[in-house]
């Protein structure tokens, strides 16, 4: 494993788990078959620009100082971006294709990535198209339906049922 790969994995661990020491990271990496010393992990944490903070539950944890990983952007921000820029949403298998006007895909993809929406593995943005990969358990059809609702392209089933 390269240094970049190890640091990426450490960043993922810090996003998903409450970790307060380099020793905990070493143990977690070892459980995944990744060999690293505590000194190496400490240097990685320095290079990643991490700090120790107390989270909303009072627990001490290591987080990346350059980005707020403890809380994610609110869903309302994603709804505003999608409502303004998304013109169509289609799916196939666990893939979702989101179309925007030229030059706008990166704005929507950034909002999507920062929202940490459940069931989204990742996205790739071009000029006017975003490819979103859904987790197999979530499926592209379900995710695309949620995107259409967030974009205002169709009403949610719950609001339709309330009106009936």
Summarised one tens digit per residue, pLDDT across range 9-38 is 999 999 888 899 999 999 999 999 999 999
Summarised one tens digit per residue, pLDDT across range 43-92 is 999 988 888 888 777 778 898 876 444 455 678 888 989 999 999 999 99
C-alpha 108/C-alpha 128 separation (Å) is 10
Share of the chain above pLDDT 90, in %: 55
3-64 shares its CATH topology with 75-155:
no
C-alpha 153/C-alpha 83 separation (Å) is 8
Residue 6 has pLDDT above 80, yes or no: yes
Query: In this structure, how many other beta carbons lie within 10 angstroms of the beta carbon of residue 134?
Result: 23
CB 142 within 8 A of CB 119: yes
| Structure token pair of residue 91 | 């799916």
Per domain, the residue ranges of the chain are 3-64, 75-155
Look at phi and psi of residue 128 and say left if phi exceeds 0, alpha if psi is from -120 to 50, else beta: alpha
With tokens 């020793």, the residue in question is 23
Would you identify the CATH topology of the domain 75-155?
Gyrase A; domain 2 (3.30.1360)
More confident site: 162 or 44: 44
Measured in degrees and rounded to the nearest 5, phi and psi for residue 53 equal -135, 170
pLDDT confidence of 162, banded at 50, 70, 90? Answer: very low
Contacts of 19 (CB under 8 A, 6+ apart): 13, 25, 28, 61, 62
> Burial code of 61-88, b = ≥16 C-beta within 10 A, e = fewer?
bbbbeeeebeeebeeeebbebbeebbee
Query: Which CATH code for domain 3-64?
Result: 1.10.10.10
With tokens 């790739």, the residue in question is 124
Query: In this structure, how many other beta carbons lie within 10 angstroms of the beta carbon of residue 49?
Result: 11
Contacts of 12 (CB under 8 A, 6+ apart): none
With tokens 């970790």, the residue in question is 19
pLDDT confidence of 157, banded at 50, 70, 90? Answer: low
């Amino acid at each position: 494993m390269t240094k970049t790969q190890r640091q990426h994995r450490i960043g993922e661990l810090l996003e998903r788990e409450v970790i307060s020491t380099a020793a905990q990271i070493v143990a977690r990496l070892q459980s995944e078959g990744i060999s690293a010393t505590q000194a190496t992990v400490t240097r990685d944490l320095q290079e990643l620009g991490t700090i120790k903070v107390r989270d909303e539950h009072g627990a001490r944890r290591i987080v990346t100082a350059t980005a707020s990983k403890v809380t994610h952007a609110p869903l309302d921000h994603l709804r505003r971006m999608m409502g303004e820029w998304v013109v169509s949403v289609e799916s196939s298998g666990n893939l979702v294709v989101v179309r925007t006007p030229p030059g706008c895909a990166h704005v929507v993809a950034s909002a999507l990535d920062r929202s940490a929406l459940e069931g989204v593995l990742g996205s790739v943005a071009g000029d006017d198209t975003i490819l979103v990969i859904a987790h197999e358990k979530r499926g592209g059809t379900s995710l695309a339906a949620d995107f259409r609702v967030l974009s205002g392209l169709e009403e949610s089933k719950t609001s339709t049922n309330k009106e009936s």
